[in-house]
């Protein structure tokens, strides 16, 4: 299976044609084939993971060209985890949480998967731009999939900001090319050291690339598009975007900083490291405080992501193996918890017409299973044991203490308090508040049985995601050990 890596990208792209061709005339067949492609993608991702586990990192050059000329693909221990995360989340969300089952959405779903998988496996900085835009275009159109002005306007703003971010990234790639004459990550790593890390061209390229990806991550002050887009989309789309939309660009940022620019660059240009720390502090503070002020739960969760991405940036800025591992674990933790939480907002909105924090009052009694799963996922976001969120924060705090970065230690502790405050608001409403005023179950259910079947599957997804935060948390040592060889190779 030497063609495993290109298949990862081509299968979902070609699969995206199926709903376009068949969607209108044979909707059932089209749905089944789409599900088949998504499940097949999970199989491919598992195969890549197994191949990496048995024979080490795999590389592939498209078209059989020499590596210096061709477009490279590469899967190592880190990227294979993110490929698997994309495949599993996209397949599971499509099979359980999807509410709108039309052909165009299927097609966009697959294009989104193709773009993100491409970001995870590419070994070429320009190709990263193309995949960034493929996933971006699919995301804009997915947000616009809901009827009404709000979704169209939110999608338009998302498109404008996302395109500015991607274009700034492209400009950064241009500077890299002017400085070095190559676009392959492995060659850049060597060539940049030869050019000199403090060359203005290289520093400018780093700033442009980081700002471009920072838009996708929604780091403060580039986060304005995120709450609008996530709150305006349908619940299934916002669950997909919240799980993967920022996670994979976050992985790309880690990869570019350490695989292309390397930690020596951060050492050579202290101003860059300082700026990263400032951006991290600003994102944690702004994300936490803005989350506290939100009445809409989906906007609250979007700001919580801003906070989490601030922690990821801390991991990048500290740049020790433990800190980079923490950044990667935090990305996985945020993805799993947010997927479950956004799916749960869909369940609550559909069954109880509840979208604000206040309207969640008493839902702990009316929907005990979903509410309990929401509680567990929130615990992971706050970072309490035994969840994966705790593992990420623990690694980060230990790495910060080791690096004597006391500011980071303080901010990580403060971030836990802020997270506790906004998560506490939701949990308090769910369990302690008296049943809501005028909040009636929308589905006329005697004992919760009459809800639509898709809702039951969505509940199953929420529960599985909550369990996953605990299980990955218990296995976090294994996860960190799996990342270790790659991370230590970078540093």
- Residue 280 Cα to chain centre, angstroms: 17
Report if residue 178 touches another protein, rule: CB under 8 A: yes
Which positions from 275 through 294 interact with another protein, judged by CB under 8 A? Answer: none
Q: What does each C-alpha distance from 97 to 10, 265, 343 come to in angstroms?
A: 25, 43, 7
Residue 76 or 228 having the CB closest to another protein: 228
The C-alpha atoms of residue 170 and residue 164 are separated, in whole angstroms, by 10
Greatest CA separation found in the chain? 72
Contact range with another protein by CB under 8 A, out of 151-159, 268-276, 327-335, 366-374: 151-159
Q: Which listed range, 7-15, 39-47, 169-177, 349-357, lies at the site for another protein (CB under 8 A)?
A: 169-177
Give DSSP secondary structure letters for 193-218: HHH-TT-HHHHHHHHHHHHHHHHHHT
Q: Is 171 in the site for another protein (CB under 8 A)?
A: yes
Residue 431 touching another protein (CB under 8 A): no
Q: Which long-range contacts (CB under 8 A, 24 or more apart) does 107-110 make?
A: 107/16, 107/17, 107/18, 107/19, 107/20, 107/23, 108/16, 108/138, 108/141, 108/142, 108/145, 109/34, 109/38, 109/138, 109/142, 109/240, 110/12, 110/13, 110/15, 110/16, 110/19, 110/34, 110/37, 110/38
Closest approach of another protein to the CB of residue 70, in Å: 12
Q: Binding pattern to another protein, positions 81-120, x when CB under 8 A?
A: ----------------------------------------
Tell me the window of 138-146, 259-267, 322-330, 436-444 that interacts with another protein (CB under 8 A). Answer: 138-146
68 binds another protein (CB under 8 A): no
Q: Is 152 in the site for another protein (CB under 8 A)?
A: yes
144 sits near another protein (criterion: CB under 8 A): yes
- Number of helices (H), then strands (E), belonging to the chain: the values are 22, 2
Stretch that binds another protein, among 23-31, 153-161, 217-225, 427-435 (CB under 8 A): 153-161
Question: How many whole angstroms separate alpha carbon 118 and alpha carbon 276?
Answer: 26
CB hemisphere CA count around 162 (13 angstroms): 27
The region of 80-88, 176-184, 281-289, 483-491 touching another protein under the rule CB under 8 A is 176-184
Q: How far apart are CA 32 and CA 381, in angstroms?
A: 35
* Pick 176 or 300: Cβ nearer another protein: 176
We find the least distance from the C-beta atom of residue 131 to another protein, in angstroms, to be: 10
Contact region for another protein (CB under 8 A) — 175-183, 191-199, 323-331, 338-346?
175-183
Binding mask 363-402 for another protein (x = CB under 8 A): ----------------------------------------
- List alpha helices for 256-387, DSSP H: 262-268, 270-293, 297-318, 321-352, 363-366, 368-382
Question: In terms of CB distance, is 164 or 443 closer to another protein?
Answer: 164
Determine if 156 is a binding residue for another protein (CB under 8 A): yes
**Nearer Cβ to another protein, position 178 or 417?**
178
What is the enclosing helix (H) or strand (E) of 482? helix 476-490
- Residue 349 CA to residue 342 CA, distance in Å, equals 10
Nearer to another protein, 141 or 284 (CB): 141
| 204 part of the interface to another protein, by CB under 8 A | no
Q: What is the total count of residues that contact another protein (CB under 8 A)?
A: 25
Check binding of 159 to another protein (CB under 8 A): yes
**Taking CB under 8 A as the rule, does residue 450 contact another protein?**
no
Confirm if 411 and 280 have CB atoms less than 8 A apart. Answer: yes
Token look-up 């639509």 returns: 452
Figure out which of the listed residues 93, 155, 239, 376 binds another protein, where binding follows CB under 8 A.
Answer: 155
Q: Binding to another protein by residue 199, rule CB under 8 A?
A: no
168: its two tokens = 């700034």
Strand partners, 58: 75
Instruction: Look up residue 206 and give its two tokens.
Output: 């780093």
Q: How far apart are CA 293 and CA 284, in angstroms?
A: 15
Residue 413 burial (CB count, 10 A)? 12
Which part of the chain contacts another protein (CB under 8 A), choosing from 40-48, 50-58, 91-99, 143-151? Answer: 143-151
Footprint of another protein on this chain (CB under 8 A)? 126, 129-130, 133, 137, 140-141, 144, 149-150, 152-153, 155-156, 159-160, 163-164, 167, 170-171, 174, 177-178, 183
């Amino acid at each position: 299976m030497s063609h495993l890596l290109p298949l990862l990208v081509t299968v979902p792209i070609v699969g995206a044609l199926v709903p376009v061709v068949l969607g209108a005339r044979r909707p059932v067949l089209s749905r089944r084939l789409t599900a088949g492609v998504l499940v097949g993608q999970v199989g491919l991702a598992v195969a890549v993971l197994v191949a990496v586990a048995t024979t080490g990192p795999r590389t592939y050059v498209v078209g059989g060209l020499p590596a210096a000329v061709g477009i490279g693909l590469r899967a190592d221990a880190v990227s294979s985890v993110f490929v698997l995360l994309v495949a599993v989340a996209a397949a599971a969300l499509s099979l359980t949480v999807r509410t709108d089952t039309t052909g165009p959405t299927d097609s966009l779903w697959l294009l989104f998967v193709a773009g993100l998988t491409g970001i995870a496996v590419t070994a070429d900085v320009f190709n990263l731009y193309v995949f960034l835009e493929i996933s971006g275009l699919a995301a804009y159109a997915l947000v616009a999939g809901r009827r009404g002005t709000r979704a169209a306007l939110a999608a338009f703003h998302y498109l404008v900001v996302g395109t500015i971010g991607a274009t700034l990234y492209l400009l950064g790639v241009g500077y890299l090319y002017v400085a070095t004459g190559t676009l392959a990550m492995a060659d850049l790593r060597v060539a940049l050291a030869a050019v000199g890390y403090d060359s203005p061209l290289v520093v400018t390229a780093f700033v442009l690339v980081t700002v471009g990806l920072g838009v996708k991550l929604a780091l403060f002050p580039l986060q304005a598009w995120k709450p609008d887009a996530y709150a305006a989309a349908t619940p299934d789309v916002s669950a997909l975007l919240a799980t993967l939309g920022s996670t994979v660009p976050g992985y790309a940022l880690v990869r570019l900083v350490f695989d292309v620019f390397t930690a020596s660059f951060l050492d050579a240009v202290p101003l860059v490291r300082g700026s990263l720390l400032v951006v991290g502090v600003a994102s944690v503070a702004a994300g936490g405080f803005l989350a506290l002020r939100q009445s809409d739960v989906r906007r609250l969760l979007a700001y919580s992501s801003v906070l989490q991405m601030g922690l990821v940036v801390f991991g990048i800025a500290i740049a020790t193996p433990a800190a980079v591992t923490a950044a990667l674990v935090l990305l996985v933790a945020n993805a799993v918890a947010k997927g479950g939480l956004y799916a749960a907002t869909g369940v609550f909105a559909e069954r109880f017409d509840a979208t604000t924090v206040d309207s969640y009052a008493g839902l702990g009694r009316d929907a005990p299973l979903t509410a309990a799963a929401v509680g567990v996922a929130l615990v992971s976001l706050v970072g309490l044991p035994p969840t994966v969120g705790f593992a990420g924060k623990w690694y980060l705090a230990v790495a910060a203490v080791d690096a004597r970065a006391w500011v980071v230690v303080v901010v990580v502790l403060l971030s836990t308090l802020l997270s506790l405050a906004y998560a506490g608001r939701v949990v308090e409403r769910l369990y302690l508040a008296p049943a809501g005023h005028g909040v009636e179950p929308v589905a006329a259910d005697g004992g919760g049985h009459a809800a639509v079947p898709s809702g039951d599957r969505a509940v199953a997804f929420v529960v599985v995601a909550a369990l996953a935060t605990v299980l990955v948390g218990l296995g976090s040592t294994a996860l960190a050990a799996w990342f270790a060889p790659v991370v230590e190779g970078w540093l």
